[in-house]
């Protein structure tokens, strides 16, 4: 599984169902925004959030890093035009 995960990042390779993965990418990005929005609105209206600001920042930073990594992987994995160099293929 790990080799396929990396192999799809090579230029010229693409996932079998890029539309499905693009939709998943949109969902992951949207969920990240929605969670941040909900926490911000709750704080703005004085609703209790069970985490202190430092914990929220730590969790938010971790979620942002994971979403960003997935977003980068999905962007490269769903197109043939960009990616890591592929020693077996030449660019034309």
For residue 1, the model assigns a pLDDT of 67
Q: What is the pLDDT of residues 1-17, one digit of tens each?
A: 677 777 887 877 888 88
Residues sharing a CB contact under 8 Å with residue 87, sequence separation 6 or more, in sequence order = none
Q: Is the confidence at residue 37, as pLDDT, over 80?
A: yes
Q: What is the pLDDT of residues 40-89, one digit of tens each?
A: 898 889 888 787 778 878 888 888 898 888 888 888 888 888 887 766 66
With the CA atoms of 47, 48, 49 and 50 taken in that order, what torsion angle do they form, in degrees rounded to the nearest 10?
A: -170
Pairs from 14-19 (Cβ < 8 Å, separation ≥ 24): 14/77, 14/78, 14/79, 14/80, 15/77, 15/78, 18/77, 18/78, 18/79
For residue 36, the model assigns a pLDDT of 79
For residue 91, the model assigns a pLDDT of 55
Give the number of residues written for the chain. 92
Domain boundaries, the chain: 2-77
């Amino acid at each position: 599984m790990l080799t396929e995960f990396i192999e799809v990042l090579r230029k010229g390779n693409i996932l079998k169902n890029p539309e499905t993965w693009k939709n998943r990418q949109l969902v992951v990005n949207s969920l990240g925004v929605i969670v941040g929005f909900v926490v911000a609105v709750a704080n703005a209206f004085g609703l209790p959030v069970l985490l202190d600001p430092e914990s929220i920042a730590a969790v938010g930073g971790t979620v942002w890093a994971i979403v960003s990594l997935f977003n980068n992987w999905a962007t490269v994995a769903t197109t043939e035009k960009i990616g890591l160099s592929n020693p077996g293929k030449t660019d034309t």
